[in-house]
Structure 1
Amino acid sequence: MYSERRHRFFFTAHFVKQWLLLLSFVVPASFSFAQQAIITDRSPAYTISANMDELVDKTNALTAEQVVQRKDFVNTQGRIPIYPNDIKNVWFRFSVSNNSGAARLFLNIAFSNLSHVTLYRVDGSKPVLLEEQGNAIPVSNRFAGSPNFVFDLKSPPGTTAQYLLHVNSTHPIIVPARVLTTDGLYADVNLQNIITSLYLGVLAVMFLYNLFLFFATRDNSYIFYVAYIFLLALAQTTFTGYEAKYLWPNNPGLNKYAVVITSILSSAAGLVFSMNFLRTKELAPRVHKWLQLLVLVYLVGLAGCLFSNVSVGYQILNFNGILGVISVLATSFYMARRNFRPAYFYLAAWMFFLITFVILILRNLAVLPYNNFTTYIIYVGSSLEVALLSIALADKINVLRREKEQSQAESLRRLEINQQLVKEQNITLERKVAERTEELQSSNNNLSVALQDLKDTQIQLVEAEKMASLGQLTAGIAHEINNPINFVKSNIKPLELDINDLIEIIDAYDGLHTAPEAEIQGKLAQIDKLKKQIDVSYVRDEIRSLVKGIHEGAERTAEIVKGLRTFSRLDESEVKIVDVHEGIDSTLVILKNAMPANITIKKDFQAHAEIECYPGKLNQVFMNILSNGIQAIKEKTEQGDESITITTRDLGDDKIQISIKDSGMGMTDEVRQKIFDPFFTTKEVGEGTGLGLSIVYKIIQKHEGKIEVVSSRGNGAEFILSLYRKLPPSAFD
């Protein structure tokens, strides 16, 4: 009995077999019946297929009567007849002598994938039909307990009879035939069923074992292997005829497609498992694409089999199978040379199977005898293959654990190095914060409280390693606040002069109360002259303008101080409903002094701004991203009209999207993939801790949001934030 694996390799070894068949055809033709199969008590079985005459009917039209008269039969010369899919009709003739004393002899053809098999007994020169079987015929009349084609030769004891066997099949023709007594047949059938049961039992154990490992580890390698084992068992039972016998005995039409479809599916599943097991996507990307193409070819063959012709499926199995086996073995050998541990198991599994397959081929070529060992050794090879691959998958757990331990050790080592760097950076930052704070205190005593708060905030942020860059910005804050204060100061003197002019006019009006009535008109004329001289309308407008300027300067100062307090406060863990646009604007206020004159801020606020969030943390996100954008623009060798574009828009009713895009240097794919890693930085030592974007990522995670980066070298970078308007419950954990 042939397994599905044997079936598939018959196709993959198609060219070798054709060459061997060609050698057999050049042997001189025999015009008499082949050597008799003599059945005795000592020899209750005879492998008739290894020594009978064959005739290929290329016309597909010969009748039994015509075949009996033909003289161009060729002896099989000790080999089992095997034909490719393009040969549809083959006739065989043989003779049997029953010297065993058994009342009945049987012809057992241990290959159930033949469409029509017809047996004739030749009486004189006249063929007499004995029986017709095949997988295109209902199996109800087959020998009980066997999926094979079993014919009663109707050969009484002491008689010799001649027979014609006609095979007509849409499938490849293979005829491993034996003549047996009743006891020999039952022994063959029982052995076949026992070995098949043991083999399927091994597959079932491996199936359940790896399914358990999948549920325990959630590793996709196991589910791929489970699917492969299942499809392998399905193809095996279909190919050996058990499915046709027990599942659809009265629907033989399914047999036309069942074998090739299950063979294609199991072959494709084997390739998919091999790709996953050997990790070709990571370790050999080109080979991975090639194997994906082979899987696609299998699927095309499957479609061709269903909608065109079964031969298409067999051709795909022939050629694609050869390419698949060569490709997978070459890949595993390549992986083994690179010391990829699973590849050793894979090669060992295939070597065991290939050795048993070679034994099978040598048996079919009559180099080795046809016996139970050479017949069923292929099951041993297939079972060892399945078992070794299961062991390899189990070993993968240990490999992954070791890799994880090594990775953790390496991460710990890097963390220690980075911690040392952070300590050094903290010392530098603390020194810079102290220097800048002292400069601010000496510049404006009115900011002493604000500077003290800022200093405390800086110390806390440095200790928490969250906003190490804020200390570098404080040097310009005094200048930023001095601008509105100087503006207020410059408005005070003109305002004082304008008020004095108004007081002078008021005093002139007060003089009317004490002046004689005759002088009132003269004094009113003087007052009018004074008003024209002072230009009261202008003074009134100027006072309003000066007061407005003083008010704006005070508001600007308050806005800057408020922005500083926003980034230095300790209540950032409190959830509030805030205007996200105000948060962006306050961040821009803080960064204004650090922003070169050639950078234009473009704002396109389209979203409904109010969201529930941690305001301090979200402002920290804006600060880090905008600071990085400014730095990226400064790093450009050729400066022009640069810009930072900030866009907001609604994503349905429950989300808001914030985009911050700069025209800076951009980044490579390698850098983009690492920017959120803690301590990763492209800056020189002393210029950055590598914590900024890592903190940004964690803050967005805390909000259950999403952050994406679109960038390429030389084309700037865009950070896209997606946030919920109302925080999910998990964000409060």
Structure 2
Amino acid sequence: MFRLHFIILAFLAIPFFCKADIIFTQSSGRILLEKGLSVLNPEKELNLSKVIKSQDFRPVKADVPNIGVTQHSVWVKFTINNQSDDAHLLLDLSYPRLDEVELITLADGKIIRKLISSKKGFSQRPYKTAGYIFPLDIPKGQTKTYYLRVKGQEHIFIPLYLNHEKEQILHTSRDNVLSGIYLGIVLIMVLYNLFIYLSVKDRSYVYYVVYVLFAGLTQFGLKGYNFQYLWPGSPHFDSLSITLFACISGIAALLFSRKFLDLTVHYKKFSIVLLVFTGLFIISLGILSTGRTREAFQLMQLNTSISSVGVFYISLFLLIKGHRGAKFFFSAWSVLLTGALIFLLKDYGIFPYNTFTINSVQAASAIEMALLSFGLADRINILKKEKELSQAEALRVANENARIIREQNVMLENKVNERTLELKESNEELNVTLENLKQAQSQLVESEKMASLGQLTAGIAHEINNPINFVTSNVNPLKRDFDLLLETITQLENTALSEDSIPEKQKSIDELKEELDFDYLKIEISHLLKGIHEGASRTAEIVKGLRIFSRVDEDDLKSADVIAGLESTLVIINNLLNNRIRIIKKYSEMPLVECYPGKLNQVFLNILTNAIHAINKRYGENTGGEIRISTSYNEESVFITIEDNGTGMDENTKKKIFDPFFTTKDVGEGTGLGMSIAYNTINKHKGQIIVNSAPGQGTGFTLQLPLRQ
């Protein structure tokens, strides 16, 4: 409440400290408020109490306050002394491209706020005009002070007019007439050139029609007519429409320029430059789609300026080169740039803000549309003449071609015969080369098979050597014990056949058993036989694994147990683990898979040996290495996953692992064909290999195979 009282007292005190520079009389008509205005452009949003207390208001020196681009509200302060008989005056801020305009004054001890926002529907405005009109009730002879808060995302002008209601209606009518004339020109150009396009089917006319249509919409949007008449209930779309229509108009204008000036045929560098400008308009549309209206508008405005100068330079260059259509294009673009320059200089305060400067682009645009339309009409004559010349040239060329064809037929027949002979010789050479390549391919594959066979031989030799050594080391002690048993049997036979008494025979037998340590002999023989049995069983298990694994050359599809294949492969590579690498198995019950078992075992072998190599490279002679093998399946496929915690691979290595001859191993350690053969084998099974790897985190291969081929 205290704050409200303070503001009211401040309002009441203003007339004593402010000179009423704006005096409105009966004969004033419609006047531009230039003297008596003061502007506050703060660096942040301020409330009314801070605005009233502010000492930063600056008098306006120009006819129309030119604020530029700012993110915060701008405040205008003025005092009006009404000396006319009409107490009902109208304040007209005649600049539609603002977001919010709020008029604040004091009446009957209360603060009165009147807000007009472009973010609300057009129907909520008190006066149905494109500008911002506020009624001012100032009895004759009285003075009132007003604060006007203005906010906008684009360049801000504040052209304030004060008039009676009658003058306001006359001004709006004159403005509507001018805009109506421009609308008529736009519609005539659109319909006229659209009809011509339907006749000649030249894309230049389509680009021109789109350009004219959206350039017109852009100009009407700047004047506020689009929001007033086309989409009064869509303020959000209206805030986007200027940038949207300007970008579409710019794109169509650049495409029209490329086509009209034949840049794609004769001046490709200029064509590329215009495509770059087109891309910038598209980028501006992309930014607009993200909701960043201000950034999109600034990029569109900058690109429009640069591309306009670029097109002007290109048309001037072609005019100097003698391009016929360039004279219309250069003239049209010169008029448009002149209008745009006047409009721009008005923004910077060099030219005054008046009816001519604010409508300069619209007028120049209308003239430019007409000149370009004349250029398109002239283009029809050019195309007609070019068509006649083309037909005459085509006839001449046809006659000349007929003569050349007759002359060349004989030469062609001779050359065909010569070429046929050359091709025959080349085919024979290619057949020989192809045969050599097939032999080389077979040799490379056999080389990889021999490398795998070397691993298999080393593994089997190592695996079988241990149980065989166990058997052979037990044979000699068993033979010795067997000889002792034979000798004992002989001595027992002699004792049994002797004539000694039974007690004496029993004593002799006990002495013999004690001498031979018969109880220990039985235990030793049992242990030796058990060791021989275990060695033989282990050898049989290895041979069984070898029999499962060694089906590399089988070319027939069979239903096989992939887990048995995995186990047989682990038997083969057991010697490479060196009791340092731990195998973790997580098998699920698996159905039989229709596959080439031997070739699939070869894939397991290649992946596991690579995993062992990666682990050894990371851990060396230390423990800690792990290989995890898991299986799963669904109704259509089985999945075998082999993961290690080795060195892993970077992205570059992952891209190359299936390339023939690519290897990360040292020279002599691998051929680089293992993973290539594995990839081809899985493809032959109509499956796929999925690789997951990262440096220092290990590698995982997932093999997906269909249950049925």
Instruction: Tell me the distance in 2 between the aligned counterparts of 1:472 and 1:128.
Output: 104
Task: Return the match for 1:37 from 17, 22, 26.
Answer: 22
Cα distance in structure 2, aligned partners of 1:34 and 1:409: 84
% identical equivalent positions: 26
1:321 is aligned, of 295, 304, 308, to 304
Q: State how far apart, in whole Å, the 1-side matches of 2:273 and 2:53 are.
A: 53
Number of the residue aligned with 1:67:
51
CA gap 1:158/1:48 in 2 versus in 1, 3 angstroms: same
Among 89, 94, 103, the residue aligned to 2:73: 89
Unmatched tracts of structure 1, length 5 or more: 1-30, 430-464, 474-590, 604-639, 646-733
TM-superposition CA deviations, 1:114-164 (whole Å, max 9, x none): 11110112679x993341002112322324441211111222333332211
Matches within 5 A, 1:329-728: 329-361=312-344, 370-412=353-395, 414=397, 422=404, 467-469=409-411, 595-596=420-421, 599-600=424-425, 602=427
The match for 1:110 is: 94
Question: CA 1:363–1:183 in 2, change beyond 3 Å: closer, same or farther?
Answer: farther
Paired position in structure 1 for 2:41 = 56
| Aligned residue number for residue 179 of structure 1 | 162
Residue 236 of structure 2: aligned partner: 253
Q: Distance in 1 between matches of 2:65 and 2:343?
A: 14
Whole-angstrom distance in 1 between the partners of 2:392 and 2:166? 68
Task: State the SS of the aligned residue for 2:27.
Answer: coil
Kindly indicate whether the alpha-carbon contact (under 8 Å) linking 1:50 and 1:80 is maintained by their aligned counterparts in 2: no
Q: Distance in 2 between matches of 1:269 and 1:36?
A: 50
Query: CA–CA distance in 1 between the matches of 2:50 and 2:300?
Result: 35
Match for 2:220 among 230, 237, 247? 237
Cα distance change of structure 1 residues 90 and 33 upon mapping to structure 2, 3 Å threshold? farther
Cα pair distance change 1:244/1:471, threshold 3 Å: closer
Is the CA contact (8 Å cut-off) linking 2:34 and 2:60 kept in structure 1? yes
Give the whole-Å Cα distance in 1 for the aligned partners of 2:92 and 2:274. Answer: 40
State the Cα distance separating 1:286 from its structure 2 match. 2.0
The 1:257/1:598 distance shift into structure 2, 3 A limit, reads: closer
Are residue 289 (structure 1) and residue 272 (structure 2) matched?
A: yes
Which deviations, in whole Å up to 9, do the C-alpha atoms of 1:610-629 show, x marking residues without a partner? xxxxxxxxxxxxxxxxxxxx
- Equivalent AA in structure 2 for residue 350 of structure 1: W
Distance 1:294 1:65, change over 3 A: same
Counterpart residue number, 1:267: 250
Q: Which has the higher contact order (CA 8 A, sep 6+)?
A: 1
Could you tell me how far apart the structure 2 residues matched to 1:330 and 1:127 are?
60
Q: How many residues align?
A: 418
**CA–CA distance in 1 between the matches of 2:422 and 2:233?**
87
Match of 1:437 in 2: none
Measure, in 2, the Cα distance between the counterparts of 1:602 and 1:343. Answer: 57
**Which structure has the bigger radius of gyration?**
2
Partner of 1:5: none
Please, what TM-score do these two structures have when normalized by structure 2? 0.53
Once the two structures are TM-superposed, the CA of residue 104 in structure 1 deviates from its matched residue by: 1.7
Partners of 1:592 and 1:412 lie apart in 2 by 32
Cα distance per residue 1:445-486 (max 9 Å; x no partner): xxxxxxxxxxxxxxxxxxxx9x4557759xxxxxxxxxxxxx
Output the CA distance in 1 between the equivalents of 2:142 and 2:183.
41
Counterpart amino acid of residue 215 in structure 2: L
Please give the alpha-carbon distance, in whole angstroms, between the structure 1 residues aligned to 2:301 and 2:347: 19
SS in 2 for 1:600: helix
Deviation at 1:72, TM superposition (A): 1.4
Matched-pair contact (CA < 8 Å) for 2:99–2:117: yes
Q: Deviations over 1:190-217 (max 9, x none)?
A: 1111111111111001000010011011
2:187 aligned partner, one-letter code: A
Q: Report the TM-score when normalising by structure 1.
A: 0.52
- Alpha-carbon distance in 2 for matches of 1:329, 1:239: 24
Determine the structure 1 residue equivalent to 2:130: 147
Deviation at 1:222, TM superposition (A): 0.3
Distance 1:211 1:33, change over 3 A: farther
Aligned to 2:567: none
* One-letter amino acid of the counterpart of residue 201, structure 1: G
Structure 2: distance between partners of 1:310 and 1:371:
28
Go from structure 1 to structure 2 and tell me whether the alpha carbon gap of 1:245 and 1:58 turns closer, same or farther (over 3 Å shift). same
Partners of 1:469 and 1:362 lie apart in 2 by: 72
2:291 & 2:346 partners in 1: Cα distance?
A: 35
Cα distance change, pair 148–260 in 1 and its aligned pair in 2 (3 A): same
Corresponding letter in the other structure for 2:105: R
Residue 109 of structure 1 contacts residue 148 of structure 1 at CA under 8 Å; is this kept in 2? Answer: yes
Q: Which residue type is aligned with residue 131 of structure 2? A: N
Q: Which amino acid aligns with 2:269?
A: R
SS at match of 2:239: helix
1:335 CA displacement? 1.5
For residue 329 of structure 1, give the secondary structure of its aligned residue in structure 2: helix
Distance 2:157 2:353 in 1: 15
Cα distance change of structure 1 residues 597 and 364 upon mapping to structure 2, 3 Å threshold: closer
CA shift for structure 1 position 417: 5.7
Letter in 1 for 2:232: P
**Alpha-carbon distance between aligned partners in 1 of 2:36 and 2:317, rounded to the nearest angstrom:** 44
Deviation track 1:351-378 (CA, whole Å, cap 9, x = no partner) reads 2233334444555666655544444344
Cα separation, partners in 2 of 1:377 and 1:289, compared to 1, 3 Å: closer
CA contact (8 A) 1:44 1:184 kept: yes
**Partner amino acid, structure 2, of 1:307:** T
- Equivalent residue number for residue 111 of structure 2: 128
Aligned to 2:551: none
Within the alignment, does 1:158 sit opposite 2:141 as a pair? yes
Structure 1: distance between partners of 2:279 and 2:314: 19
Q: Does residue 1:212 correspond to 2:195, yes or no? A: yes
C-alpha distance in 2 between matches for 1:310 and 1:42: 44
Q: Deviations over 1:264-316 (max 9, x none)?
A: 22223322222222232223222222221222222222222221421221221
* 1:106 match: secondary structure: strand
Shift of 1:396: 0.7
Give me the whole-angstrom Cα distance separating, in 1, the residues matched to 2:200 and 2:180.
Answer: 30
Counterparts of 1:375 and 1:470 in 2: how far apart (Å)? Answer: 73
Contact 2:308 2:337 survives alignment (8 Å): no
- Deviations, residues 677-705 of structure 1 (Å, cap 9, x unaligned): xxxxxxxxxxxxxxxxxxxxxxxxxxxxx
Q: Which amino acid in the other structure matches residue 55 of structure 1?
A: L
- Do the aligned partners of 2:66 and 2:349 also contact (CA within 8 Å) in 1? no
Shift of 1:342: 1.9
Rate the CA distance shift 1:248–1:414 in 2: closer, same or farther, 3 A.
Answer: closer
Greater Cα shift, 154-163 or 387-396: 154-163
Distance 1:593 1:193, change over 3 A: closer
- CA separation of 1:372 and 1:174: change in aligned 2, threshold 3 A: closer
User: Residue 129 of structure 2 aligns to which amino acid in structure 1?
Assistant: S
Corresponding residue of 1:190: 173
Cα 1:42–1:352 shift into 2, 3 Å:
farther
CA contact (8 A) 1:120 1:127 kept: no
Q: 1:181 to 1:336 in 2, by over 3 A?
A: same
For 1:470 and 1:66, the matched residues in 2 are separated by 96
